[in-house]
Amino acid sequence: MSFKNVEVIKEANIYFDGKVTSRTVLFSDGSKKTLGIMLPGVYNFGTDKAEDMEILAGHLKVKLADSNEWMEITTPTTFNVPAKSSFDLEVFTPTDYCCSYLD
C-alpha cells in the first residue's frame, strides 16, 4: 500500500527513550496517520482522538483500557482504540505499524 499526494513531517515522534518512533503523514482531506516502529518492550499509550492501529508486521499483545484481556497479535491486523482512552502493549519483536486518527 502507498499514499499519494501527502505531506510528511520530517521530524520524528520519539517515545520511550527511542524504542517507539513514528513519522506523521498529513492528507489533503485533513486526515492524519503516523507510520512507525516499536522495539520490544512494555508501553502504555493514551489517546485524544479515536485511533485505528494497523499492525503490519511483528508480534505483540494488546490490552485496551476497557478490557481485562490481552489480545495476541502475530499477523497483520487492525484494532480500534476509543477517544480519551488508553491501551497497553507488550511488544515481543520489532513491530511495524500505521496509526489512523479518527474524528
pLDDT tens digit sequence for 63-89: 999 899 999 998 899 999 999 999 999
- pLDDT band at 22; cut points 50, 70, 90: very high
Other Cβ atoms within 10 Å of 39 Cβ, number: 16
Backbone region of residue 30 per phi and psi (left: phi > 0; alpha: psi in -120 to 50; beta: other values): left
Give all domains of the chain, ordered by start, each with its CATH number: 6-101 (2.60.120.10)
> Does residue 1 have a pLDDT over 80?
no
Give the predicted TM-score (pTM) of the model. 0.92
Cell triple for 91: 511488544
